[in-house]
Structure 1
Amino acid sequence: MAKNIHSASDRRGFLLSAGTLAASSLATSVATAQTMGASASATASPLGSRKLGTLQVSSIGLGVQNMGRTYQTTVPSRPEMVNIIRRAFDSGVTFFDAAEAYGPHEVERILGEGIAPFRNQVAITSKFGWNIDLQTGQRLPGLISRPDHIKLAVEGMLKRLRTDRIDLLYQHRVDPQVPIEDVAGAIKELIAQGKVLHWGLCEMGPGTLRRAHAELPVSAVQNEYSMLWRGPEKWVLPLCEELGIGFVPWSPLGVGFLTGAIDARTRFADGDIRKIESRFAPENLPRNLALVELLKRWAASKAATPGQIALAWLMARKPWIVPIPGTTQMPHMLENIGAAAVRFTPQEFAELDAAVAAIEIQGARLPDSVLVYSDVEAPLKR
Structure 2
Amino acid sequence: MAQRVGRIKLGSQGLEVSAQGLGCMGMSAFYGPPKPGVTFLDTSDIYGPFTNETLLGKALKGGVREKVELATKFGISHTDGKMEIRGDPAHVRAACEGSLKRLDIDCIDLYYQHRIDTRVPIEVTIGELKKLVEEGKIKYIGLSEASASTIRRAHAVHPITAVQLEWSLWSRDAEEEIIPTCRELGIGIVAYSPLGNGFFSSGPKLVEDLSTNDLRMFLPRFQPENLEHNKTIFERVNEMATRKGCTSSQLALAWVHHQGKDVCPIPGTTKIENFKQNIGALSVKLTPEEMVELESFASEDAVKGERSINDFATWKNSETPPFSSWKAV
Which structure 2 residues correspond to residues 10-49 of structure 1 after superposition, within 5 A? 28-30=1-3, 46-49=4-7
Partner AA of 2:70 in structure 1: I
Q: Which residue of 1 aligns with 2:124?
A: 182
The change in CA–CA distance for 1:378 and 1:227 in structure 2 (over 3 A counts) is same
CA distances 1:164-209 after superposition (whole Å, capped 9, x unpaired): 1111000011111211111111111111111101111111122111
Q: Which residue of 1 aligns with 2:38?
A: 93
Which of the residues 157, 180, 187 maps onto 1:215?
Answer: 157
CA drift at 1:373: 7.3
Asked if residue 57 in structure 1 is aligned to residue 48 in structure 2, the reply is: no
Q: Which residue of 2 aligns with 1:14?
A: none
Partner AA of 1:132 in structure 2: H
Partner AA of 1:50 in structure 2: I
Q: TM-score, normalised by structure 2?
A: 0.92
Whether contact under 8 Å (1:276, 1:367) holds in the other structure is yes
Return the alpha-carbon distance in structure 2 between the equivalents of residues 367 and 351 of structure 1.
29
Whether contact under 8 Å (1:98, 1:107) holds in the other structure is yes
CA drift at 1:269: 3.8
SS in 1 for 2:312: helix
Q: Which residue of 2 aligns with 1:130?
A: 76
Return the alpha-carbon distance in structure 2 between the equivalents of residues 93 and 48 of structure 1.
9
Return the alpha-carbon distance in structure 1 between the equivalents of residues 195 and 296 of structure 2.
19
Q: How many positions carry a matched residue from both structures? A: 321
Partner AA of 1:105 in structure 2: F
Whether contact under 8 Å (2:207, 2:222) holds in the other structure is no
Asked if residue 163 in structure 1 is aligned to residue 109 in structure 2, the reply is: no
SS in 1 for 2:16: strand
Partner AA of 2:115 in structure 1: R
Which structure 2 residues correspond to residues 238-317 of structure 1 after superposition, within 5 A? 238-263=180-205, 266=208, 268-317=210-259
Q: Which residue of 2 aligns with 1:82?
A: 30
Return the alpha-carbon distance in structure 1 between the equivalents of residues 108 and 243 of structure 2.
41
CA distances 1:213-270 after superposition (whole Å, capped 9, x unpaired): 1111111111111112111112111111111111111111111101125339837543
Structure 2 unmatched ranges of 5 or more: 325-329
Q: Which residue of 1 aligns with 2:327?
A: none
SS in 2 for 1:174: coil
CA distances 1:325-368 after superposition (whole Å, capped 9, x unpaired): 11111111111111111111233323333343386101111111
Partner AA of 1:361 in structure 2: V
Return the alpha-carbon distance in structure 1 between the equivalents of residues 78 and 296 of structure 2.
42
Return the alpha-carbon distance in structure 1 between the equivalents of residues 249 and 10 of structure 2.
23
The change in CA–CA distance for 1:367 and 1:194 in structure 2 (over 3 A counts) is same
Whether contact under 8 Å (1:113, 1:161) holds in the other structure is yes
Aligned CA RMSD, in angstroms, stands at 2.0
Which structure 2 residues correspond to residues 286-365 of structure 1 after superposition, within 5 A? 286-357=228-299, 360-365=302-307
Whether contact under 8 Å (1:96, 1:124) holds in the other structure is yes
Partner AA of 2:173 in structure 1: G
CA drift at 1:131: 1.7
The change in CA–CA distance for 1:238 and 1:307 in structure 2 (over 3 A counts) is same
CA drift at 1:107: 0.4
Which of the residues 26, 33, 44 maps onto 1:66?
Answer: 26
Q: Which residue of 1 aligns with 2:89?
A: 147
CA distances 1:286-312 after superposition (whole Å, capped 9, x unpaired): 210111112212211222111111111
CA drift at 1:158: 0.7
CA drift at 1:116: 2.2
Whether contact under 8 Å (1:173, 1:374) holds in the other structure is no
Partner AA of 1:82 in structure 2: F
Q: Which residue of 1 aligns with 2:145?
A: 203
The change in CA–CA distance for 1:336 and 1:139 in structure 2 (over 3 A counts) is farther
Return the alpha-carbon distance in structure 2 between the equivalents of residues 219 and 110 of structure 1.
26
Structure 1 unmatched ranges of 5 or more: 1-27, 31-45, 68-75
The change in CA–CA distance for 1:210 and 1:264 in structure 2 (over 3 A counts) is closer
Partner AA of 1:128 in structure 2: F
Whether contact under 8 Å (1:181, 1:212) holds in the other structure is yes
